Structure 1
Amino acid sequence: MRTTRLLVTAVTAFAAVLIPATAQAGGAQPSTIAGGLNAPRGLAFAPDGALYVAEAGTGGSGPCLPGPEGGQVCFGTSGSVTRIGHHGQKRVLTGLPSLAGPGGANAIGPSDVSLQGNGGMYVTVGLGGNPATVRPQLPPAGQQLGLLLRNGKPAADISGYEVRANPDGGEVDTNPNSVEALPGGRAVADAGGNDLLWAGSDGRITTIATFPDRLVDAPPQLGLPPGTKIPMQAVPTSVVRGPDGALYVGELTGFPFQQGAARVWRVVPGHAPQVYAQGFTNIIDLGFDHGRLYVLEIARNGLLGAETDPSGALLRVDRHGPPQVVSQNLTLPGGLALKDGNAYVSNCGACPGPAGSIVRIRL
């Protein structure tokens, strides 16, 4: 079975009861600037300084269908985008598709937002499976799952491209999880497809890069003979343009979510991707501040142990030494934005219901 779904489908056993963690030892203390968010994920600043965050939602009353990793998820239009400014927070885009389990657990929906100029708000909407089997079970509003939207309207069918092209050659599986709006088009990381795509302003989609599987030791719980190797997929969850103009992509990695196995790729279109930094665990987002790369880990000690330790971490990459922990006082964070010497993080991005918040961390 292909194991490229976003983390929220990997925490099924405990997400329904998860609450934000209390402060732990390890780095800067976050301060909350917004709350009551439904599975907040990617976030970005607009030219006017407002902060926008994609909310995956809480699902709805149905129809219901089998979830990507078991159990049932039910459809609704509880996905949204919230704007956070000087005068508070407000949902500025609502009625977006969302799939979630009971209480809003394991939500799949709006996953990232990127602003271009004053009139372009681009949002990726996840799917977590094969659109040819998922979409026919859903009403018209559900057909936006797996799309890139511009101001709430379809801009590119990322999932349709996976069905047609399947760039990595594996099982058809799509989960658009990150978008970087750039002049002439948008770079999109498809966590399900294990690829980085370019969605041009004309709606045409092309492949920038694919990211390979690796053979790793099988975890003991599988009961396989010692030394058995199994494939672990890349699961690219984030894309950001660096100060050098290249695209940087972070890996969540697939099952068994090995600690220290996630990497950051540097991608120059037309060239093979190169590993830029490594030694991370379950990367969910990236960002640059004053030329320095910051990495957000959704589960600092690995997803397989997240039931007992849901702490995430923000790290700063030093090219001349190991990554430095900025803060470990985070709970399953879902997104990162950097501005004016501060990091803004979607905290409790995989928690059910309105438990999510945006926190600010002084760098």
Structure 2
Amino acid sequence: MVRIVDPRGRGRRTLLTLTATVALVAAAVAPAQAHSSHGHPTPPPTRVASGLDNPRQLIVNGHGDLYVAEAGRGGSTLCITGPEGDDICLGSTGAVTRVTRKGTQSRVVTGLPSLAAPDGSAAIGPSDVEWLGGRQLAVLIGLGADPAARDAMPAEGSRLATLQLAKVGSTHTRTIADLGAYEAKANPIHDPDSNPSSLIRVGDKFVITDAGGNDLVRTGRHGLSTVAVFDDQMADAPPFLGLPPGTQIPAQAVPTAVVRGPDGAYYVSQLTGFPFQPGLANIYRVVPGHAPTVWASGLTNVTSLAFDSRGSLYAVQLAKDGLLNAPPDAPPVGSLVKVSRSGAHTVVADNLVAPYGMAISGHQAYVSTCSVCPGGGEVWRITL
């Protein structure tokens, strides 16, 4: 169930808030393969990981090992009022799980900060991971609040809204970049808010989406800098607001994922803030030094992107019918689609329960599902 508080100003802070009990049951539902781009019989989706805590973005390295960022299940160190008005509690339950090419699953980085509801659902914590070679990983950690909120938190809270250098088998990390501090200083749009959600490595730098800050930022020798800012859109007001028919209200952009295209440009996906209107989400093309341009449109609540080896772009839709249209007390059902610039997007896999992250290796896509479930998250392998 989606809960909204002060929708015009706070829709960007938390990507989703759902009821975990139903989501845990729904995690047992297998995705439905809908399409293969190769025109031959397609094997059904295969579960390759399970038992994950609120899994988000993921990556496959050159050795065929899969790394999954787990936002954790919160804790009991400190409880505060979250962005949707409910209590969220801090803990050190965030992690990174590795699934080797032989299928062995284990948590290889633990002790990362996590904020979640008291039942462990809808956590904010590790949101993405990048393999740097050997045992080195870069782990991006979200926040979903004004960075000043960290000042009242114990030590583990200081790593929220940061990019951390981690090592497989260790709980020790080192801060590479403080996205929260940069947002508090630069704040290119709206009130200060930081929720880093996705990263890519480009040479010796990182490019990062901040879903709270509504911007794309880049690390560099002299610190962070803003690559692009994503402006609000106008969306149809939902009937329950009681506004006259046809009224439109601002919806914040909420950029969720960044990938680099075959042309060298950055492509950025969009969840869209409240009211999460179906069909309003875009894929933006970003060339540094230029304003973002809409490359594809007509999508809904997109959380992840990936190009395949042929240059085709795929997207994960968290809620294919829109977050506000999910059945009461049930998680949204999403899909994996092949993106077309004409808007005629092709469904590759359907019936995905609260999907979130995606990585592509060869002709296989790996998608994290039940992304708001403590202990119920999974990763599925889907043939493209």
Task: Answer whether TM exceeds 0.5 for this pair.
Answer: yes
Aligned to 2:263: 244
Which of 205, 211, 220 aligns to 2:239? It is: 220
Normalised to the residue count of structure 2, the TM-score between the two structures is: 0.89
Is the Cα contact below 8 Å between 2:140 and 2:162 reproduced in 1? yes
8 A Cα contact 2:318 2:334, kept in partner: yes
Gaps of 5+ in 1: none
Q: Which residue among 330, 340, 344 is the counterpart of 1:318?
A: 340
- Give 3-state SS (helix, strand or coil) of 1:8's partner: coil
User: How far apart are the structure 2 equivalents of 1:360 and 1:171?
Assistant: 39
Query: How many residues were matched structurally?
Result: 356
Q: In structure 2, what is the equivalent of residue 140 of structure 1?
A: 155
2:218 pairs with 1:198: yes
Partner residue in 2 for 1:178 = 198
Q: 2:77 corresponds to which letter in structure 1?
A: G
Residues 296, 342 of structure 2: 8 Å contact kept: no
Q: Which residue of 1 aligns with 2:352?
A: 330
1:18 to 19, 23, 33: 23
SS in 2 for 1:107: coil
Following superposition, the deviation at residue 260 of structure 1 comes to 0.4
Give the secondary structure class of the aligned counterpart of 1:102: coil
Match of 2:248 in 1: 229
Residue among 174, 179, 191 paired with 1:158: 179
- Taking the aligned partners of 2:345 and 2:45, their CA distance within structure 1 comes to 19
Counterpart of 1:27 in structure 2 is 34
- What SS is found at the alignment partner of 2:119? helix
Q: Which residue of 2 aligns with 1:299?
A: 319
Which residue is equivalent to 1:167?
Answer: 188
**2:76 matches 1:57:** no
What is the root-mean-square deviation in Å for CA atoms of aligned residues?
Answer: 1.6
Aligned-pair distance for 1:320? 5.4
Q: Which residue of 1 aligns with 2:287?
A: 268
Provide Cα deviations, 1:307-328, integer angstroms capped at 9, x if missing partner.
4562110000234561100011
Supply the distance in 2 between the matched residues of 1:214 and 1:321 (Cα, whole angstroms). Answer: 18
Q: Is the 8 A contact 1:8 1:107 kept in 2?
A: no
Letter in 2 for 1:6: T
Distance in 2, matches of 1:267 and 1:306, equals: 31
Contact 2:23 2:331 in 1 (8 A): no
Q: What does residue 6 of structure 2 align with?
A: none
Q: Deviations over 1:124-162 (max 9, x none)?
A: 101001011x21231101110000112232100001100
Q: Are residues 16 and 137 of structure 1, via their aligned partners in 2, closer, same or farther at CA, if it must alter by over 3 Å? A: farther
Match of 2:307 in 1: 288
Q: Which residue of 2 aligns with 1:126?
A: 142
Q: TM-score, normalised by structure 1?
A: 0.94
Identity of paired residues, percent? 49
Pair 1:24–1:206, CA change in 2 (3 A) = closer
